[in-house]
Structure formats: C-alpha cells, structure tokens
A and B are shown apart, each in its own frame.
Chain A
Amino acid sequence: EVQLVESGGVVVQPGGSLRLSCAASGFNFDDSDMHWVRQAPGKGLEWVSLINWDGESTYYADSVKGRFTISRDNGKNSLYLQMNSLRGDDTALYYCAKDGPGAFGLDSWGQGTLVTVSS
C-alpha cells in the first residue's frame, strides 16, 4: 500500500524558514516524480513544486520561485520542501503527492502538514 506521510508543519513568523518532509513507502520511490501541492484554509488546491525521479530537475510555481527548494533523498525514501522568506499567504496545508499513471495524474497523496505563518 502506498503511504505518504508529511511532517514539519508548525507556526512560524513572517520572514522565517521551515523544512517540510514527506516519508514515502509502498512503492518504488526512486522511480517516481514527486510534487508538493498546498491548500490555504477554506481555499482550493495550488500546485507548488515538482522534482523528477532522480532529483536532477526541479520546477516551481511563480508564487514560490526563489523562496522554496524541493529536494529528495532516494536512499531514505524522503521528499523535502525547504521554505524560506515565508509570508502570510504561504499559510496552508501542504500535501506531498506521487506522480502516477500516464503523463500527468497525482495518484497518491499524503494527509498534509499545516504551515501557519503568523506573528
């Protein structure tokens, strides 16, 4: 069974930094592209970032480019999101998601970890 478990979400002050983690199991992690998607309270989904299977290619939404860094450790079956210069509009539930069948479809999601940016 595929499992994705996010952690690291806390309350952080504006301008602060945070690293989210996602522990993966139940599938060949090192064969899978991985995404971060976030959801502000009461709002819709927002794609944040993508990393390819070997970590050589990374992509970001304009809203986080230059502030967030996605990375992975295939030896530890783990995905990360380093978040710097946090702002109030970064407050959201952050999901990690596995790229699944076909060219585009996120077929497995974690339960999310909540990041709150507030003074």
Chain B
Amino acid sequence: QSALTQPASVSGSPGQSITISCTGTSSDIGGYNYVSWYQQHPGKAPKLMIYDVSHRPSGVSNRFSGSKSANTASLTISGLQAEDEADYYCSSYRSSNTYVFGPGTKVTVL
C-alpha cells in the first residue's frame, strides 16, 4: 500500500484544465521540496514531467505545471489534449534517502 494518495481517475474534455492531487505526510511531501511527476502510456516506460515540485525538464510542454501546499502536491495539465491520456504518478523523497511513489491516476480525455 502506497504512502501517498492519488485519485484513481481524472477526466476532462479537450482544451480543459485538470489537476491531479498527491497527498502525503510531513515525512515526505510536506517535509521536502523533492516531488516529481511521471507520465506513463500503456506499455511504455515512465517519462519525467515535473521535478522538485514545480520544475519542468527540457522538452516537456509548458501545459504541465506542478505545485505544493503543505502535505499535498498537485499536477495541473492545461489545454488538455488527446495525447495526455495516460497514467500519472507522483513521487516524493522520504527520510533516510528513500523514495515513494503514489498509486497512480488514470487521466481520460473525453
């Protein structure tokens, strides 16, 4: 059982904005600015979308943004597109140089 909580699914129409939450504790998300987000299409390896809460790697669309408040991190996808349909995982540093992933959120573009 994951130590982080994500909604199982989120959906939106093309062009809309959606937000995926990732809730942890003061021992992980709340204690460090070390949250990352990954996109995974079926049968493919995960892809880094956001690192260190709100930073986008080179090549990732600026439609993806990250934030954090207290023990909850969020990934927002604006201008939703068909290609955004995928599973999304949050991940956080915990104490003693260990890491944890959330259970994943399936994003459906209606």
Contacts and interface: CB of A to CB of B under 8 A. Distances in A.
Interface of A: 35, 37, 44-47, 50, 57, 59-61, 95, 97, 100-107, 109-112
Contacts of B104: 44-45
Contacts of A101: 51-52, 55, 57
Given A104-B34, A104-B35, A105-B57, 11 more contacts: A37-B101, A44-B89, A50-B97, A61-B98, A97-B46, A101-B52, A102-B52, A103-B32, A104-B51, A104-B91, A105-B55
Contacts of B38: 45, 106
A103 B33 contact: yes
Given A105-B57, A107-B57, A100 B98 contact: no
A111 B45 contact: yes
A2 B35 CA distance: 23
B51 A100 contact: yes
B24 interface: no
Contact of A102 (B47, B51, B87, B97): B51
Contacts of A106: 36, 38, 46, 48, 91
A84 to B, nearest CB: 20
24 contacts: A44-B89, A44-B102, A44-B103, A44-B104, A45-B89, A47-B99, A47-B100, A50-B99, A61-B98, A95-B45, A100-B48, A102-B55, A103-B32, A103-B51, A103-B93, A104-B34, A104-B35, A104-B93, A105-B57, A107-B48, A107-B51, A109-B45, A109-B46, A111-B45
